[in-house]
Amino acid sequence: MKKWKQIFRVLLFLDLEDGRLNLFEAFPALKRFFYRRKYFAWIRTFGDLAFLGLILLGLFGPQDPHRNIMLFLAWGVWWTSVVLSWFFLGRMWCAFCPFPGLGRLLQALNWSRLKSPPKWLTCKGLHLATAGFFFIIWAETVTDMKNSPLLTALLLLSIVAGATIMGVLYRGYTWCRYLCPLGKIIGSAATLAITEFRSDYEKCKDCKTFSCRRGRDHLRPCPVFLGAYHAKNNLVCLVCGHCLILCEKDSPALYLRHPLREQIINKGRYITCSYVIPLLMGSQIARFVYESLYFTPIQNLLGFGKALTFTFLFAVGTLFFIELIKGGSILFTFYEDELFGRFSPMVPVVMPLAFTGELVYRLQYFLEELGNFLPTLGRQLHLSFLLNYHFTVPPWAIKGLSYFLILLGVAGGVYVARYFYKREFEGLVPFKNYLLINLLLFLSAGLYLLFQP
């Protein structure tokens, strides 16, 4: 009972000093799961085979979207689950991700140069990966990829190809650390997760080996060149648990925490989030409009084709959120310090809305298509009795859930703004600025609500 009270307290009451719960101590079975590396290997193998099946279905299966279940499995089940997992497990999806599977196999067979990642990659990787992610979102919409098994399979194959080439050229998960388009968005969202994988400073302070980062004996090092000791945020760590077997001091552990803790501590200093958030929010508004009744009148007004109108909305939305975040950060009056330079305190205020917005977008597709899954399977396998299992999730339920999640994102933003105003920047932010910051947040949420399909 005491344990559950602790969990409740950690999740609901933000305490920056002592507000974490060591889940390995509270639930020793969880620690055993992380230590038994074969469990991870089994899950990864299952994921690799499932992905191979999806790609084959996309390439060689029926191209009619009503006759191929790979579309719902890829866009509805897989991607929606990844988005949902951000909020609970951080980047743990990446620990099981099938994309680097082939590269990992080639490395195990010694068919890799195993070189260290080059300097240009460590410097430019963030920009390339962010551009890659938003290209995927753009292409997903303008090519109507969610209705094309072939294009979906080609997208998955292109990511596998990128990860494999990087696996052959460089050691570890160079792709996941620097170039994966999904990795940057998952890493940014993971900063809102209720869990974090960290080392214990008291155990680490006398460490001479740093084997969590360097590896030891025959054990390979942290796959993303980090190591538990250097994991100070959720952006990079994959929660793969590999450093548990590397560390001789039993230092790394999984902690439960308040979902806004990391954002409040960092106050918008993550450059990754500063890049990703306005683009993500701009793309979401464009995607919501694209699927709403507003799109055709806007298209007629502009006189562009569908793809160009969407591109225009994407660009305008992104510029709007860049300016909104800039304006909000200036209103905080405190957005520069000697140690870190400029930062964007408005980013953590809009961030919960940005990621609940993504969840809304993906859940809508999942719920709208859920009732078609068995009939689609029936048509694909020629099992006509499955056609009788069609059902529709009521649109009011989907809308209600969407509104609830958007308001949850707003509540998170209001909480962060208030925390900054009352505590972190106490006495620095004029009350009218504080009201305007909230107004900007509500304006963003208003756009999300207005353009719900």
Residue ranges in contact with ligand SF4 by CB under 6 A: 197, 199, 203-204, 207, 209-212, 222, 224, 226-229, 231, 237-243, 247, 249, 251-252
Q: Which is nearer to ligand SF4, 231 or 405 (CB)?
A: 231
Q: Which is nearer to ligand SF4, 239 or 325 (CB)?
A: 239
Least separation in angstroms between residue 232's CB and ligand SF4 is 11
In whole angstroms, give the CA distance from residue 339 to residue 345: 15
Q: Which is nearer to ligand SF4, 234 or 344 (CB)?
A: 234
Least separation in angstroms between residue 202's CB and ligand SF4 is 10
Least separation in angstroms between residue 344's CB and ligand SF4 is 26
Contacts of 97 (CB under 8 A, 6+ apart): 47, 176
On whether the CB atoms of residues 405 and 115 are closer than 8 A, the answer is no
Least separation in angstroms between residue 347's CB and ligand SF4 is 24
Least separation in angstroms between residue 96's CB and ligand SF4 is 12
Q: Which is nearer to ligand SF4, 221 or 278 (CB)?
A: 221
Q: Which is nearer to ligand SF4, 209 or 333 (CB)?
A: 209
Least separation in angstroms between residue 117's CB and ligand SF4 is 15
Least separation in angstroms between residue 251's CB and ligand SF4 is 4
Least separation in angstroms between residue 204's CB and ligand SF4 is 3
Least separation in angstroms between residue 279's CB and ligand SF4 is 25
Q: Which is nearer to ligand SF4, 155 or 247 (CB)?
A: 247
Least separation in angstroms between residue 101's CB and ligand SF4 is 17
Q: Which is nearer to ligand SF4, 212 or 406 (CB)?
A: 212
- Return the HEC string of the chain: CHHHHHHHHHHHCCCCCCCCEEHHHHCHHHHHHHHCHHHHHHHHHHHHHHHHHHHHHHHHCCCCHHHCCHHHHHHHHHHHHHHHHHHHHCCHHHHHCCCCHHHHHHHHCCCCCCECCCHHHHHHHHHHHHHHHHHHHHHHHHCCHHHCHHHHHHHHHHHHHHHHHHHHHECCCHHHHHHCHHHHHHHHHHCCCCEEEECCHHHHCCCCCCHHHHCECCECCCCCCCCHHHCCCCCCCCCCCHHHHHCCCCCCEEEECCCCHHHHHHCCCCHHHHHHHHHHHHHHHHHHHHCCCCHHHHHHHHCCCHHHHHHHHHHHHHHHHHHHHHHHHHHCCCCEECCCEECCCHHHHHHHHHHHHHHHHHHHHHHHHHCCHHHHHHHHHCCHHHHHHCCCCCHHHHHHHHHHHHHHHHHHHHHHHHHHHHHHCCCCCCHHHHHHHHHHHHHHHHHHHHCCC
Q: Which is nearer to ligand SF4, 15 or 248 (CB)?
A: 248
Q: Which is nearer to ligand SF4, 252 or 268 (CB)?
A: 252
Closest CA to 191 of 234, 226, 237: 234
Q: Which is nearer to ligand SF4, 6 or 209 (CB)?
A: 209
